[in-house]
Amino acid sequence: MSNEKRKMLVVDDIEVNRVILRQLFADEYEVIEAATGRQALDRLAQYGDQIAIMLLDLVMPDMDGFQVLESMNASGDIKRIPVIIITGDVSDERTLGGYALGASDLVSKPFNPEIITRRVNNVADLYDHKKYLEQKLREQKRELAEQDKRLKQTNMFLIDALSTTVEFRDVESGEHVKRIRNLTKIFLEMINDKYHLPKEEIDAIANASVLHDIGKIAIPDSVLLKPGRLTDEEFKIMKTHTVRGCEILNSLHYVPDQEYFGYCYEICRHHHERWDGKGYPDGLKGDEIPIWAQATSLADVYDALTSDRVYKKAYSHEQAVEMILNGECGTFNPLLMERFKEIKDDLPTLIALTDMDDRNKTAEL
Cα distance between the two ends of the chain: 35
Q: Which of 322, 267, 269 is nearest to 299 (CA)?
A: 267
Cα separation of 84 and 132, whole Å?
21
> What are the strands of the beta sheet with 105-108, ordered from one edge?
29-34, 6-11, 51-57, 83-87, 105-108
Q: Which of 90, 43, 34 is nearest to 62 (CA)?
A: 34
Q: Is the separation of the CB atoms in 202 and 176 below 8 Å?
A: no
Q: Is the separation of the CB atoms in 148 and 127 below 8 Å?
A: no
Show which residues are catalytic: 216
Q: 214 Cβ partners below 8 Å, 6+ apart?
A: 162, 163, 166, 245, 248, 249, 268
Q: Which of 199, 206, 218 is nearest to 159 (CA)?
A: 206
Q: Which of 222, 224, 204 is nearest to 214 (CA)?
A: 224
Cα separation of 12 and 21, whole Å?
10
